Each structure stands twice: as structure tokens, then as C-alpha cells.
A = this chain, B = another copy of it.
Amino acid sequence: MRNHREDVVDQALRVLDTYGLADLTMRRLAKELGVQPSALYHHFPSKQLLLAAVADELLARGARPEPDGTWEEQSRACCTQLRDAMLAYRDGAEVVATVHAFGLGAQAPERALADAVAGSGAAPDLVRAATRTLLHLVFGHTLDEQTHLQAGSAGAIDDDPRDRSDLEVGVGLVLDGIRARTAAPHP
């Protein structure tokens, strides 16, 4: 079949979105590519690293141009973009959160968020803590949201706005906390 690395990732994303993470197996993916399971190990040394590439590609496809505005607007935009990117694929939040937790990929959102938060002028330790807090908040809320979304996939036209607003409120709490801790250098 002569697949390239990108073909494998592309097909993996298709299998993920169509059948879900539980059915994204090496054997299933191989079958979908018309290839033996062992052939996949020519492109990736393990399933974990394949999933890391899948997470990175998923995030890249959801990337939007860098937002301008205040650091708070930029931070909110980062969070929204991350949420939207993960929701765009079935089980996207689980894939991204897992890959990030194991430190194998999905690191771009943390960097973007750190840059935005740093715009507040807060001390580096506070920037790091706040960035991680926002990231975990987006991961957690979106994981919940996607689980409910997919559980009640029968009939539901669009998403329960409760989850989205809970996320926005949570982000707001953290941003306010940063502002309160950051003395304006020269008002």
C-alpha cells in the first residue's frame, strides 16, 4: 500500500472520529489502511506515540490565527480554541488530555496559554501555576462536556450550555485571581 506517516495519522483521525477511541486499535487501523498490523510499526514505535501524533494533528487542525487584544482576551481565546479543537473530533478531549498527561505531546496549547498569561506581567511562578490551572480546567470541563454530549447523542440538537458557561466562569475566576495578584506597574 506504500503509506506514509501522514497517511497513517490521517486514517487514525478518521477511525477515531467514526468509531471512537476504544475502536482505534492497531489492528483496526491496519485493516482500514489495507495493511498488516505489523506494518504500522514501521511508522511508529508504539501505539502511545501514534496517539501522540494523532493528538498533535488534531490540535493543529483546530489552530486559529493568534488573537490580539488584552492578555485576558488572549487567554480566554486560547482556552476556547483548545476546547473547540478537542470537541471537533469524537473522544478528542480524552486523547489530548491523556497524551498531555503522559508528556508525549499536545504541548502547544500549554505554550500558547503561557504566552498569553505572561502578558499580565505576573511573576513567573504565578504564570506557571496559573497556566497549568487553566489547562487542567479546560481539559476537565471539556472531558465532562464531551462525555455528556456523546452520551446523550440521541436527539440532542446542540450542546447543553451549562458546561460551556461553567468553563467560562471558571476561566474568569482564575483570570480575576491573576489580576488581583498582579500590581499594575504604573497606572
Contacts and interface: CB of A to CB of B under 8 A. Distances in A.
Interface of A: 101-103, 125-126, 128-130, 132-133, 135-137, 139-141, 143-144, 147, 165-166, 169-170, 172-174, 176-178, 180-181
- Which 6 A-B residue pairings sit nearest by Cβ, starting from the closest? A136-B140, A173-B177, A133-B170, A129-B169, A129-B166, A176-B177
B177 A130 contact: no
Chain A interface main SS type:
helix
A129 B180 contact: no
A165 B126 CA distance: 10
B136 A141 contact: yes
Nearest to A132: B166
Contacts of A136: 136-137, 139-141, 170
Given A136-B136, A137-B137, 5 more contacts: A129-B170, A133-B166, A133-B170, A136-B137, A177-B177
